[in-house]
Structure 1
Amino acid sequence: MIKKAVIPAAGFGTRFLPATKSQPKEMLPIIDTPTIQYVVQEAVDSGIEEILIITGKGKRAIIDHFDRNFELEQRLLEKQEEALYQQIRQISDMANIYYVHQKELNGLGDAVSYGKQFTGNEPFAVLLGDTVMESVIPVTQQLIDIYNQYEGMVIAVEPVPQDKVNRYGIVGGRAIIDSIMEIDQLIEKPELGEAPSNLAIAGRYILTPEIYESIKITPKKKNNEVQLTDAMVNLLGKKKFYSCTIEGKRHDIGSKLDFLKTNIEFALKRKEFAKPLLEYLTQLLEEKKG
Protein backbone atom coordinates (compact mmCIF):
# COMPACT_ATOMS: atom_id res chain seq x y z
CA MET A 1 0.00 0.00 0.00
CA ILE A 2 1.32 3.43 -0.93
CA LYS A 3 0.57 5.86 1.89
CA LYS A 4 3.36 8.43 1.55
CA ALA A 5 3.96 11.21 -0.97
CA VAL A 6 6.74 13.68 -1.63
CA ILE A 7 5.88 17.09 -3.09
CA PRO A 8 8.87 19.11 -4.36
CA ALA A 9 8.11 22.82 -3.97
CA ALA A 10 11.47 24.52 -3.53
CA GLY A 11 11.99 26.38 -6.82
CA PHE A 12 12.29 30.16 -7.09
CA GLY A 13 9.43 30.53 -9.59
CA THR A 14 11.41 33.04 -11.63
CA ARG A 15 8.89 32.96 -14.50
CA PHE A 16 6.39 34.68 -12.22
CA LEU A 17 8.59 37.44 -10.89
CA PRO A 18 7.94 39.90 -9.36
CA ALA A 19 4.86 38.11 -7.90
CA THR A 20 7.08 35.31 -6.56
CA LYS A 21 9.71 37.56 -5.01
CA SER A 22 8.10 37.07 -1.60
CA GLN A 23 5.44 34.45 -2.38
CA PRO A 24 5.99 30.83 -3.47
CA LYS A 25 4.70 30.08 -6.97
CA GLU A 26 2.93 27.07 -5.44
CA MET A 27 0.81 29.52 -3.44
CA LEU A 28 -0.41 31.40 -6.51
CA PRO A 29 -4.18 30.96 -6.41
CA ILE A 30 -6.42 29.32 -8.94
CA ILE A 31 -9.30 31.69 -8.23
CA ASP A 32 -9.30 31.42 -4.41
CA THR A 33 -7.34 28.22 -3.74
CA PRO A 34 -3.53 27.96 -3.76
CA THR A 35 -2.13 25.68 -6.44
CA ILE A 36 -0.44 23.40 -3.93
CA GLN A 37 -3.71 22.80 -2.09
CA TYR A 38 -5.07 21.12 -5.22
CA VAL A 39 -1.93 18.95 -5.30
CA VAL A 40 -2.28 17.94 -1.65
CA GLN A 41 -5.98 17.24 -2.17
CA GLU A 42 -5.15 14.91 -5.08
CA ALA A 43 -2.73 12.99 -2.85
CA VAL A 44 -5.31 12.72 -0.06
CA ASP A 45 -8.03 11.62 -2.50
CA SER A 46 -5.63 8.89 -3.67
CA GLY A 47 -5.33 7.41 -0.18
CA ILE A 48 -2.08 9.13 0.82
CA GLU A 49 -1.90 9.69 4.57
CA GLU A 50 1.51 11.31 5.05
CA ILE A 51 3.04 14.02 2.86
CA LEU A 52 6.51 15.52 2.82
CA ILE A 53 6.78 18.92 1.15
CA ILE A 54 10.29 19.90 0.02
CA THR A 55 10.56 23.63 0.61
CA GLY A 56 13.21 26.25 -0.02
CA LYS A 57 14.00 29.87 0.74
CA GLY A 58 10.93 32.07 1.03
CA LYS A 59 8.45 29.17 1.25
CA ARG A 60 7.15 29.86 4.75
CA ALA A 61 3.71 30.70 3.32
CA ILE A 62 3.21 27.04 2.35
CA ILE A 63 3.79 25.91 5.93
CA ASP A 64 1.50 28.62 7.28
CA HIS A 65 -1.25 27.71 4.82
CA PHE A 66 -1.55 24.11 6.03
CA ASP A 67 -1.14 25.07 9.69
CA ARG A 68 -3.98 26.23 11.91
CA ASN A 69 -4.72 29.92 12.34
CA PHE A 70 -6.54 30.18 15.65
CA GLU A 71 -7.10 33.93 15.45
CA LEU A 72 -8.72 33.66 12.02
CA GLU A 73 -10.85 30.71 13.12
CA GLN A 74 -12.08 32.64 16.16
CA ARG A 75 -12.91 35.69 14.06
CA LEU A 76 -14.92 33.57 11.61
CA LEU A 77 -16.86 32.00 14.49
CA GLU A 78 -17.58 35.41 15.98
CA LYS A 79 -18.90 36.60 12.62
CA GLN A 80 -20.95 33.39 12.30
CA GLU A 81 -19.15 32.46 9.08
CA GLU A 82 -19.63 28.74 9.70
CA ALA A 83 -19.01 27.61 6.10
CA LEU A 84 -15.75 29.53 5.87
CA TYR A 85 -14.70 28.29 9.30
CA GLN A 86 -15.21 24.66 8.25
CA GLN A 87 -13.34 25.28 5.01
CA ILE A 88 -10.35 26.76 6.84
CA ARG A 89 -10.30 23.96 9.43
CA GLN A 90 -10.43 21.33 6.70
CA ILE A 91 -7.19 22.67 5.18
CA SER A 92 -5.21 22.00 8.36
CA ASP A 93 -6.81 18.57 8.76
CA MET A 94 -6.20 17.30 5.20
CA ALA A 95 -3.25 15.02 6.02
CA ASN A 96 -0.18 14.64 8.18
CA ILE A 97 2.14 17.10 6.43
CA TYR A 98 5.86 17.41 7.13
CA TYR A 99 8.48 19.74 5.71
CA VAL A 100 12.17 19.64 4.89
CA HIS A 101 14.28 22.47 3.53
CA GLN A 102 16.28 21.86 0.34
CA LYS A 103 19.62 23.46 1.14
CA GLU A 104 20.53 24.26 -2.47
CA LEU A 105 18.43 24.27 -5.63
CA ASN A 106 20.17 21.37 -7.36
CA GLY A 107 17.31 20.06 -9.48
CA LEU A 108 14.27 17.83 -9.17
CA GLY A 109 16.31 14.70 -8.58
CA ASP A 110 18.09 16.30 -5.66
CA ALA A 111 14.78 17.56 -4.24
CA VAL A 112 13.28 14.05 -4.34
CA SER A 113 16.36 12.67 -2.55
CA TYR A 114 15.34 14.63 0.55
CA GLY A 115 12.48 12.16 0.99
CA LYS A 116 14.75 9.18 1.77
CA GLN A 117 14.35 9.14 5.54
CA PHE A 118 10.66 9.97 5.26
CA THR A 119 9.75 7.15 2.86
CA GLY A 120 12.25 4.57 4.11
CA ASN A 121 11.90 1.23 2.31
CA GLU A 122 8.39 1.94 1.05
CA PRO A 123 7.27 2.87 -2.47
CA PHE A 124 6.00 6.44 -2.60
CA ALA A 125 4.29 8.98 -4.81
CA VAL A 126 5.85 12.15 -6.16
CA LEU A 127 3.60 15.05 -7.15
CA LEU A 128 5.07 18.24 -8.57
CA GLY A 129 3.81 21.19 -6.57
CA ASP A 130 3.10 23.43 -9.57
CA THR A 131 1.06 20.95 -11.62
CA VAL A 132 -2.69 20.54 -11.09
CA MET A 133 -4.51 17.48 -12.42
CA GLU A 134 -8.21 17.63 -13.24
CA SER A 135 -9.70 14.14 -13.41
CA VAL A 136 -12.57 11.96 -12.19
CA ILE A 137 -10.18 9.37 -10.72
CA PRO A 138 -7.22 11.18 -9.12
CA VAL A 139 -4.16 10.79 -11.35
CA THR A 140 -2.04 9.62 -8.41
CA GLN A 141 -4.66 6.93 -7.75
CA GLN A 142 -4.42 5.87 -11.40
CA LEU A 143 -0.66 5.38 -10.95
CA ILE A 144 -1.07 3.54 -7.65
CA ASP A 145 -3.50 1.11 -9.29
CA ILE A 146 -0.90 0.30 -11.96
CA TYR A 147 1.85 -0.11 -9.37
CA ASN A 148 -0.32 -2.51 -7.40
CA GLN A 149 -0.93 -4.57 -10.54
CA TYR A 150 2.55 -4.62 -12.09
CA GLU A 151 4.83 -3.85 -9.12
CA GLY A 152 7.09 -1.45 -10.99
CA MET A 153 7.74 2.26 -10.94
CA VAL A 154 5.07 4.27 -12.74
CA ILE A 155 5.30 7.57 -14.59
CA ALA A 156 2.29 9.67 -15.58
CA VAL A 157 2.42 10.76 -19.24
CA GLU A 158 0.26 12.69 -21.64
CA PRO A 159 0.32 13.00 -25.44
CA VAL A 160 1.81 16.23 -26.82
CA PRO A 161 2.01 17.51 -30.41
CA GLN A 162 4.81 15.79 -32.34
CA ASP A 163 6.49 19.11 -33.13
CA LYS A 164 6.76 19.94 -29.39
CA VAL A 165 8.33 16.73 -28.05
CA ASN A 166 11.68 18.55 -27.73
CA ARG A 167 10.22 20.53 -24.80
CA TYR A 168 9.57 17.50 -22.58
CA GLY A 169 10.89 14.27 -21.15
CA ILE A 170 9.58 11.57 -23.49
CA VAL A 171 9.01 7.85 -22.84
CA GLY A 172 9.13 4.93 -25.22
CA GLY A 173 8.49 1.21 -24.89
CA ARG A 174 6.08 -1.68 -25.39
CA ALA A 175 2.36 -1.07 -25.14
CA ILE A 176 0.57 -3.38 -22.70
CA ILE A 177 -2.88 -1.84 -23.13
CA ASP A 178 -3.93 1.50 -24.59
CA SER A 179 -3.06 3.53 -21.49
CA ILE A 180 -0.14 1.47 -20.11
CA MET A 181 3.34 0.99 -21.57
CA GLU A 182 6.35 -0.90 -20.26
CA ILE A 183 9.11 1.68 -20.61
CA ASP A 184 12.50 0.96 -22.16
CA GLN A 185 13.42 4.53 -23.14
CA LEU A 186 13.43 7.84 -21.25
CA ILE A 187 14.77 10.80 -23.19
CA GLU A 188 14.90 14.34 -21.86
CA LYS A 189 13.92 16.85 -24.58
CA PRO A 190 14.78 14.72 -27.64
CA GLU A 191 15.50 16.32 -31.00
CA LEU A 192 12.56 16.42 -33.40
CA GLY A 193 12.40 13.14 -35.27
CA GLU A 194 14.31 11.24 -32.57
CA ALA A 195 11.55 10.89 -29.99
CA PRO A 196 10.36 7.30 -29.38
CA SER A 197 6.78 8.54 -28.93
CA ASN A 198 4.80 11.70 -28.24
CA LEU A 199 4.14 10.75 -24.60
CA ALA A 200 5.53 13.39 -22.27
CA ILE A 201 6.23 13.02 -18.54
CA ALA A 202 3.40 14.79 -16.72
CA GLY A 203 4.57 15.52 -13.16
CA ARG A 204 3.33 12.47 -11.25
CA TYR A 205 5.35 9.37 -10.31
CA ILE A 206 5.29 6.22 -8.21
CA LEU A 207 8.88 5.44 -7.22
CA THR A 208 10.60 2.77 -5.14
CA PRO A 209 13.56 3.22 -2.75
CA GLU A 210 16.09 2.24 -5.44
CA ILE A 211 15.66 5.71 -6.90
CA TYR A 212 17.61 7.25 -4.03
CA GLU A 213 20.86 5.42 -4.76
CA SER A 214 20.43 6.21 -8.43
CA ILE A 215 20.00 9.92 -7.69
CA LYS A 216 23.15 9.77 -5.57
CA ILE A 217 25.29 8.59 -8.50
CA THR A 218 23.61 10.75 -11.16
CA PRO A 219 25.88 13.59 -12.31
CA LYS A 220 24.71 17.17 -12.56
CA LYS A 221 24.00 18.33 -16.09
CA LYS A 222 22.14 21.36 -17.44
CA ASN A 223 22.11 24.31 -15.01
CA ASN A 224 24.33 22.22 -12.72
CA GLU A 225 21.28 20.23 -11.57
CA VAL A 226 20.50 16.58 -10.91
CA GLN A 227 17.52 15.58 -13.02
CA LEU A 228 15.04 12.93 -11.88
CA THR A 229 14.73 11.68 -15.48
CA ASP A 230 18.48 10.95 -15.59
CA ALA A 231 18.24 9.02 -12.31
CA MET A 232 15.40 6.92 -13.71
CA VAL A 233 17.40 6.25 -16.89
CA ASN A 234 20.13 4.73 -14.69
CA LEU A 235 17.60 2.14 -13.50
CA LEU A 236 16.19 1.16 -16.89
CA GLY A 237 16.88 -2.50 -17.51
CA LYS A 238 17.39 -3.09 -13.78
CA LYS A 239 13.93 -2.19 -12.56
CA LYS A 240 10.54 -2.26 -14.24
CA PHE A 241 9.07 1.07 -15.32
CA TYR A 242 5.59 1.65 -16.66
CA SER A 243 3.87 4.71 -18.06
CA CYS A 244 0.24 5.63 -17.46
CA THR A 245 -1.40 7.89 -20.01
CA ILE A 246 -3.48 9.98 -17.67
CA GLU A 247 -7.26 10.10 -17.82
CA GLY A 248 -7.84 13.77 -17.18
CA LYS A 249 -6.29 17.12 -17.93
CA ARG A 250 -2.97 18.49 -16.70
CA HIS A 251 -2.75 22.16 -15.81
CA ASP A 252 0.88 23.26 -15.71
CA ILE A 253 1.12 26.44 -13.64
CA GLY A 254 4.73 26.90 -14.75
CA SER A 255 3.99 29.69 -17.25
CA LYS A 256 1.94 32.87 -17.01
CA LEU A 257 -0.21 32.02 -20.00
CA ASP A 258 -1.07 28.54 -18.70
CA PHE A 259 -1.80 30.06 -15.29
CA LEU A 260 -4.27 32.50 -16.86
CA LYS A 261 -5.92 29.75 -18.92
CA THR A 262 -6.28 27.54 -15.85
CA ASN A 263 -7.98 30.30 -13.86
CA ILE A 264 -10.45 30.93 -16.68
CA GLU A 265 -11.22 27.21 -17.12
CA PHE A 266 -11.76 26.67 -13.40
CA ALA A 267 -13.90 29.81 -13.11
CA LEU A 268 -16.15 28.64 -15.96
CA LYS A 269 -16.83 25.46 -13.96
CA ARG A 270 -18.04 27.41 -10.91
CA LYS A 271 -21.70 28.34 -10.74
CA GLU A 272 -21.14 31.81 -9.28
CA PHE A 273 -18.69 32.81 -12.02
CA ALA A 274 -19.61 30.83 -15.14
CA LYS A 275 -22.41 32.94 -16.59
CA PRO A 276 -21.08 36.47 -15.86
CA LEU A 277 -17.53 35.49 -16.88
CA LEU A 278 -18.70 33.94 -20.14
CA GLU A 279 -20.78 37.03 -20.89
CA TYR A 280 -17.76 39.22 -20.19
CA LEU A 281 -15.45 37.13 -22.38
CA THR A 282 -17.98 37.14 -25.20
CA GLN A 283 -18.34 40.92 -24.94
CA LEU A 284 -14.58 41.33 -24.85
CA LEU A 285 -14.13 39.24 -27.99
CA GLU A 286 -16.77 41.26 -29.80
CA GLU A 287 -15.01 44.48 -28.83
CA LYS A 288 -11.67 43.11 -30.04
CA LYS A 289 -13.22 42.11 -33.37
CA GLY A 290 -14.68 45.58 -33.76
Structure 2
Amino acid sequence: MKAKKVSKAIFPVAGLGTRFLPATKSIPKEIMTLVDRPLIQYAIDEARAAGIKEFIFVTSRGKSALEDYFDNAPELESALKKAGKEDLLEILKETNMDSGAIAYIRQNRPMGLGHAVWCARRLIGNEPFAVLLPDDVIAAEKPCLQQMVEAYAETGGNMVAAMEVAPERTSSYGVLDVGEDMGAIVKAKGMVEKPKAGTAPSNLAVIGRYILSPKVMTNLNRMKQGAGGEIQLTDAIADEVADGNVYGYRFRGQRYDCGSKAGFLQATVAFGLSRPDLRDEFSAYLHDMIALQKAAQ
Protein backbone atom coordinates (compact mmCIF):
# COMPACT_ATOMS: atom_id res chain seq x y z
CA MET A 1 0.00 0.00 0.00
CA LYS A 2 1.31 3.44 -0.95
CA ALA A 3 2.45 5.51 2.03
CA LYS A 4 0.28 8.48 2.89
CA LYS A 5 1.81 11.86 2.07
CA VAL A 6 3.47 13.71 4.94
CA SER A 7 2.25 17.30 5.08
CA LYS A 8 2.45 18.17 8.80
CA ALA A 9 5.52 18.73 10.96
CA ILE A 10 6.04 19.27 14.67
CA PHE A 11 8.86 21.48 15.94
CA PRO A 12 9.49 20.96 19.70
CA VAL A 13 10.87 24.33 20.84
CA ALA A 14 9.79 24.50 24.48
CA GLY A 15 13.27 23.99 26.00
CA LEU A 16 14.90 26.65 28.16
CA GLY A 17 18.25 26.54 26.36
CA THR A 18 20.19 26.64 29.63
CA ARG A 19 23.45 25.59 27.95
CA PHE A 20 23.48 28.98 26.21
CA LEU A 21 22.84 31.22 29.21
CA PRO A 22 23.00 34.17 29.60
CA ALA A 23 22.06 34.67 25.91
CA THR A 24 18.88 32.61 26.32
CA LYS A 25 17.72 34.59 29.32
CA SER A 26 15.87 36.94 26.98
CA ILE A 27 15.76 35.23 23.56
CA PRO A 28 14.70 31.70 22.61
CA LYS A 29 17.62 29.47 21.66
CA GLU A 30 15.93 28.74 18.33
CA ILE A 31 16.29 32.42 17.35
CA MET A 32 20.07 32.37 17.86
CA THR A 33 21.72 32.98 14.50
CA LEU A 34 23.95 30.61 12.57
CA VAL A 35 25.79 33.14 10.36
CA ASP A 36 22.75 35.33 9.55
CA ARG A 37 19.77 32.97 9.90
CA PRO A 38 18.16 31.69 13.10
CA LEU A 39 18.36 27.97 13.82
CA ILE A 40 14.61 27.66 13.37
CA GLN A 41 14.82 29.05 9.83
CA TYR A 42 17.10 26.19 8.77
CA ALA A 43 14.53 23.69 10.09
CA ILE A 44 11.62 25.48 8.40
CA ASP A 45 13.41 25.63 5.05
CA GLU A 46 14.21 21.93 5.29
CA ALA A 47 10.57 21.12 6.04
CA ARG A 48 9.33 23.23 3.14
CA ALA A 49 11.70 21.44 0.75
CA ALA A 50 10.19 18.14 1.90
CA GLY A 51 6.65 19.25 1.03
CA ILE A 52 5.46 20.19 4.54
CA LYS A 53 2.47 22.54 4.46
CA GLU A 54 1.41 22.71 8.13
CA PHE A 55 3.90 23.74 10.81
CA ILE A 56 3.18 23.02 14.48
CA PHE A 57 5.37 24.59 17.16
CA VAL A 58 5.31 23.19 20.69
CA THR A 59 6.39 26.16 22.78
CA SER A 60 6.50 27.36 26.38
CA ARG A 61 6.45 30.62 28.31
CA GLY A 62 8.96 33.17 27.06
CA LYS A 63 8.87 32.14 23.38
CA SER A 64 6.93 35.11 22.00
CA ALA A 65 9.97 36.26 19.99
CA LEU A 66 9.78 32.98 18.09
CA GLU A 67 6.16 33.68 17.15
CA ASP A 68 6.99 37.25 16.11
CA TYR A 69 9.79 36.05 13.87
CA PHE A 70 7.37 34.35 11.47
CA ASP A 71 4.96 37.27 11.34
CA ASN A 72 4.95 40.01 8.72
CA ALA A 73 6.99 43.14 9.48
CA PRO A 74 5.20 45.90 7.50
CA GLU A 75 7.36 48.81 8.73
CA LEU A 76 10.61 46.99 7.98
CA GLU A 77 9.36 45.85 4.57
CA SER A 78 8.26 49.40 3.73
CA ALA A 79 11.67 50.80 4.73
CA LEU A 80 13.48 48.26 2.56
CA LYS A 81 11.22 49.07 -0.41
CA LYS A 82 11.87 52.82 -0.06
CA ALA A 83 15.60 52.17 0.14
CA GLY A 84 15.48 50.00 -2.97
CA LYS A 85 16.94 47.03 -1.09
CA GLU A 86 15.03 44.38 -3.05
CA ASP A 87 17.54 41.61 -2.25
CA LEU A 88 17.01 42.07 1.49
CA LEU A 89 13.26 42.29 0.96
CA GLU A 90 13.26 38.88 -0.73
CA ILE A 91 15.28 37.38 2.14
CA LEU A 92 12.81 38.86 4.62
CA LYS A 93 9.82 37.41 2.76
CA GLU A 94 11.27 33.92 3.18
CA THR A 95 10.67 34.26 6.94
CA ASN A 96 6.94 34.97 6.58
CA MET A 97 4.42 32.18 7.02
CA ASP A 98 1.00 32.08 5.37
CA SER A 99 -2.02 32.62 7.60
CA GLY A 100 -3.24 29.27 8.89
CA ALA A 101 -0.04 27.42 8.00
CA ILE A 102 1.46 27.74 11.46
CA ALA A 103 0.10 26.80 14.89
CA TYR A 104 1.46 27.13 18.41
CA ILE A 105 0.80 24.67 21.24
CA ARG A 106 1.99 25.16 24.81
CA GLN A 107 3.84 22.46 26.73
CA ASN A 108 3.07 23.49 30.29
CA ARG A 109 5.61 21.19 31.95
CA PRO A 110 9.03 19.94 30.74
CA MET A 111 8.31 16.20 30.62
CA GLY A 112 10.50 15.12 27.72
CA LEU A 113 10.50 15.05 23.93
CA GLY A 114 7.77 12.42 23.78
CA HIS A 115 5.47 14.61 25.85
CA ALA A 116 6.21 17.64 23.68
CA VAL A 117 5.23 15.71 20.55
CA TRP A 118 2.11 14.35 22.30
CA CYS A 119 0.98 17.91 23.01
CA ALA A 120 0.31 18.34 19.27
CA ARG A 121 -1.83 15.19 18.96
CA ARG A 122 -5.13 16.94 18.20
CA LEU A 123 -3.60 18.84 15.29
CA ILE A 124 -2.08 15.66 13.86
CA GLY A 125 -5.26 13.55 13.96
CA ASN A 126 -4.93 10.32 11.98
CA GLU A 127 -2.15 11.41 9.64
CA PRO A 128 1.57 10.62 9.42
CA PHE A 129 3.75 13.52 10.53
CA ALA A 130 7.34 14.69 10.71
CA VAL A 131 9.25 15.89 13.76
CA LEU A 132 12.25 18.21 13.38
CA LEU A 133 14.55 19.22 16.23
CA PRO A 134 16.04 22.63 15.35
CA ASP A 135 19.16 21.91 17.45
CA ASP A 136 20.21 19.41 14.78
CA VAL A 137 21.28 21.43 11.76
CA ILE A 138 22.11 19.28 8.73
CA ALA A 139 24.12 20.53 5.78
CA ALA A 140 23.17 18.45 2.75
CA GLU A 141 22.91 18.87 -1.02
CA LYS A 142 19.38 17.44 -0.79
CA PRO A 143 17.76 18.40 2.55
CA CYS A 144 17.66 15.53 5.05
CA LEU A 145 13.88 15.44 5.51
CA GLN A 146 13.37 15.44 1.75
CA GLN A 147 15.65 12.40 1.50
CA MET A 148 13.59 10.70 4.21
CA VAL A 149 10.23 11.53 2.62
CA GLU A 150 11.41 9.92 -0.62
CA ALA A 151 12.56 6.80 1.23
CA TYR A 152 9.36 6.74 3.33
CA ALA A 153 7.29 6.64 0.15
CA GLU A 154 8.74 3.14 -0.37
CA THR A 155 8.63 1.83 3.21
CA GLY A 156 5.76 3.55 5.03
CA GLY A 157 5.69 2.91 8.78
CA ASN A 158 8.01 4.99 10.95
CA MET A 159 11.38 6.34 9.90
CA VAL A 160 14.14 7.96 11.94
CA ALA A 161 17.28 9.70 10.69
CA ALA A 162 20.35 7.77 11.76
CA MET A 163 24.11 8.21 11.71
CA GLU A 164 27.12 6.25 12.87
CA VAL A 165 28.73 7.53 16.08
CA ALA A 166 31.77 6.45 18.05
CA PRO A 167 30.86 3.57 20.43
CA GLU A 168 31.79 5.65 23.48
CA ARG A 169 29.22 8.29 22.46
CA THR A 170 26.21 5.96 22.09
CA SER A 171 25.08 6.68 25.67
CA SER A 172 24.11 10.20 24.54
CA TYR A 173 21.64 9.02 21.90
CA GLY A 174 18.73 6.78 21.09
CA VAL A 175 20.35 3.78 19.36
CA LEU A 176 18.93 1.36 16.79
CA ASP A 177 19.09 -2.40 17.18
CA VAL A 178 19.46 -3.33 13.51
CA GLY A 179 17.44 -6.28 12.24
CA GLU A 180 18.12 -5.95 8.52
CA ASP A 181 20.68 -3.65 6.90
CA MET A 182 19.68 -2.62 3.39
CA GLY A 183 22.24 0.12 2.93
CA ALA A 184 20.71 3.57 3.24
CA ILE A 185 17.66 2.03 4.94
CA VAL A 186 17.81 -0.35 7.90
CA LYS A 187 14.91 -2.21 9.50
CA ALA A 188 15.02 -1.93 13.28
CA LYS A 189 14.29 -4.79 15.65
CA GLY A 190 14.63 -2.52 18.66
CA MET A 191 15.54 0.94 19.93
CA VAL A 192 17.26 1.90 23.17
CA GLU A 193 17.31 5.42 24.60
CA LYS A 194 20.72 6.43 26.03
CA PRO A 195 22.07 2.90 26.69
CA LYS A 196 24.64 2.47 29.43
CA ALA A 197 28.26 2.31 28.34
CA GLY A 198 29.08 -0.99 26.61
CA THR A 199 25.44 -2.08 26.24
CA ALA A 200 24.43 -0.34 22.98
CA PRO A 201 23.05 -2.76 20.34
CA SER A 202 24.88 -0.84 17.57
CA ASN A 203 26.56 2.49 16.94
CA LEU A 204 23.72 3.71 14.70
CA ALA A 205 22.32 6.70 16.56
CA VAL A 206 18.98 8.44 16.06
CA ILE A 207 19.16 12.19 15.43
CA GLY A 208 16.50 14.87 15.26
CA ARG A 209 14.48 14.00 12.16
CA TYR A 210 11.49 11.64 12.27
CA ILE A 211 8.57 10.57 10.09
CA LEU A 212 5.99 8.90 12.32
CA SER A 213 2.64 7.18 12.06
CA PRO A 214 -0.30 8.39 14.19
CA LYS A 215 0.03 5.13 16.19
CA VAL A 216 3.02 6.71 17.90
CA MET A 217 0.65 9.29 19.40
CA THR A 218 -1.47 6.43 20.73
CA ASN A 219 1.63 4.94 22.34
CA LEU A 220 2.50 8.31 23.89
CA ASN A 221 -0.98 8.44 25.45
CA ARG A 222 0.23 5.87 27.99
CA MET A 223 2.57 8.52 29.48
CA LYS A 224 5.17 5.84 30.18
CA GLN A 225 8.30 7.30 31.79
CA GLY A 226 11.63 6.26 30.33
CA ALA A 227 15.27 7.37 30.59
CA GLY A 228 15.73 10.31 32.96
CA GLY A 229 12.17 9.93 34.24
CA GLU A 230 10.89 11.63 31.06
CA ILE A 231 8.41 10.52 28.41
CA GLN A 232 10.73 9.45 25.61
CA LEU A 233 9.75 9.60 21.96
CA THR A 234 12.16 6.75 21.29
CA ASP A 235 10.14 4.44 23.56
CA ALA A 236 6.89 5.21 21.73
CA ILE A 237 8.55 4.49 18.38
CA ALA A 238 10.11 1.28 19.73
CA ASP A 239 6.61 -0.01 20.52
CA GLU A 240 6.05 -0.24 16.75
CA VAL A 241 9.10 -2.46 16.14
CA ALA A 242 7.19 -5.71 16.73
CA ASP A 243 5.04 -4.99 13.66
CA GLY A 244 8.13 -4.39 11.51
CA ASN A 245 7.20 -0.74 11.09
CA VAL A 246 10.38 1.05 12.18
CA TYR A 247 13.19 2.01 9.82
CA GLY A 248 16.40 3.95 10.18
CA TYR A 249 17.64 6.10 7.32
CA ARG A 250 21.33 6.86 6.85
CA PHE A 251 21.02 10.38 5.48
CA ARG A 252 23.58 11.99 3.21
CA GLY A 253 24.94 15.14 4.83
CA GLN A 254 26.77 16.58 7.81
CA ARG A 255 24.93 17.01 11.08
CA TYR A 256 25.89 19.70 13.60
CA ASP A 257 24.71 19.57 17.20
CA CYS A 258 23.80 23.21 17.73
CA GLY A 259 22.43 22.36 21.15
CA SER A 260 26.03 22.44 22.37
CA LYS A 261 28.41 25.41 22.29
CA ALA A 262 31.13 23.46 20.51
CA GLY A 263 28.68 22.18 17.90
CA PHE A 264 27.28 25.66 17.37
CA LEU A 265 30.77 27.06 16.78
CA GLN A 266 31.62 24.20 14.39
CA ALA A 267 28.45 24.88 12.42
CA THR A 268 29.22 28.60 12.29
CA VAL A 269 32.63 27.92 10.77
CA ALA A 270 31.27 25.35 8.29
CA PHE A 271 28.34 27.49 7.14
CA GLY A 272 30.49 30.62 7.01
CA LEU A 273 33.03 28.89 4.76
CA SER A 274 30.22 27.60 2.51
CA ARG A 275 29.07 31.15 1.73
CA PRO A 276 30.61 32.67 -1.44
CA ASP A 277 30.20 36.19 -0.01
CA LEU A 278 32.11 35.31 3.18
CA ARG A 279 34.41 32.44 2.25
CA ASP A 280 37.60 34.27 1.20
CA GLU A 281 37.71 36.81 4.02
CA PHE A 282 36.67 34.30 6.68
CA SER A 283 39.07 31.62 5.45
CA ALA A 284 41.98 34.08 5.48
CA TYR A 285 41.08 35.08 9.05
CA LEU A 286 40.96 31.46 10.23
CA HIS A 287 44.29 30.75 8.52
CA ASP A 288 45.88 33.71 10.31
CA MET A 289 44.44 32.66 13.67
CA ILE A 290 45.82 29.13 13.31
CA ALA A 291 49.22 30.51 12.30
CA LEU A 292 49.26 32.75 15.38
CA GLN A 293 48.36 29.84 17.66
CA LYS A 294 51.14 27.68 16.22
CA ALA A 295 53.63 30.52 16.59
CA ALA A 296 52.64 30.97 20.24
CA GLN A 297 53.22 27.29 21.11
Give, as a single letter, the amino acid of the residue that structure 1 aligns with 2:267. T
Q: How high is the TM-score relative to the length of structure 2?
A: 0.93
Q: Give 2:88's aligned residue.
A: 84
Instruction: Report the Cα distance in structure 1 between the residues aligned to 2:228 and 2:164, rounded to whole angstroms.
Output: 27
Task: Pick the aligned partner of 1:6 from 6, 10, 29.
Answer: 10
Segments of 5+ residues of structure 2 without an aligned counterpart are none
> Where in structure 2 are the equivalents of 1:105-254 lying within 5 Å?
105-238=110-243, 240-254=245-259
Selected match of 1:22 from 2, 22, 26: 26
| Distance apart, 1:108 and its partner CA | 0.3
Question: Which residue of 2 is the match for residue 97 of structure 1?
Answer: 102
Tell me by how many angstroms 1:223 deviates.
4.5
Q: Secondary structure at the match of 2:242?
A: coil
Give 1:76 deviation, angstroms.
1.0
**Which residue, out of 35, 38, 45, partners 1:34?**
38
**What amino acid does structure 2 have at the position aligned with 1:265?**
A
Distance 1:57 1:223 in 2: 23
8 A contact 1:41–1:94 mirrored in 2: no
For 1:171 and 1:88, the matched residues in 2 are separated by 40
Question: 1:218 touches 1:231 (CA, 8 Å); kept in 2?
Answer: no
Aligned pairs for 1:43-62 within 5 A = 43-62=47-66
Superposition TM-score, scaled by structure 1 size? 0.96
Residue 36 of structure 1 deviates from its aligned partner by 0.5
Amino acid at match of 1:143: M
Aligned to 2:270: 265
Cross-structure match for 2:71: 67
Q: Distance in 2 between matches of 1:114 and 1:163?
A: 33
Letter of the 1:276 partner, please give it.
E
- 2-side partners of 1:222 and 1:200: how far apart? 16
Unaligned runs of 5+ in 1: none
Number of corresponding residues: 290
Letter in 1 for 2:70: F
Q: Which amino acid aligns with 1:182?
A: K
Can you list the C-alpha shifts for 1:2-24, whole angstroms capped at 9, x where unaligned? Answer: 11111111100010011001111
Structure 2 SS opposite 1:126: strand
Letter in 1 for 2:61: K
Report the 3-state secondary structure (helix = DSSP H, G, I; strand = E; otherwise coil) of the residue aligned with 1:232.
Answer: helix
Instruction: After TM superposition, give the deviation of residue 192 of structure 1 in Å.
Output: 3.1
3-state SS of paired residue (1:211): helix
Given that 1:9 and 1:130 are in contact with CA atoms closer than 8 Å, whether structure 2 keeps it comes out as no
> 1:221 Cα shift?
3.9
The runs of at least 4 consecutive aligned structure 1 residues that moved more than 6 Å come to none
Which amino acid letter does the alignment assign opposite residue 17 of structure 2?
A: G
8 Å CA contact 1:44–1:94 kept in 2: the answer is no
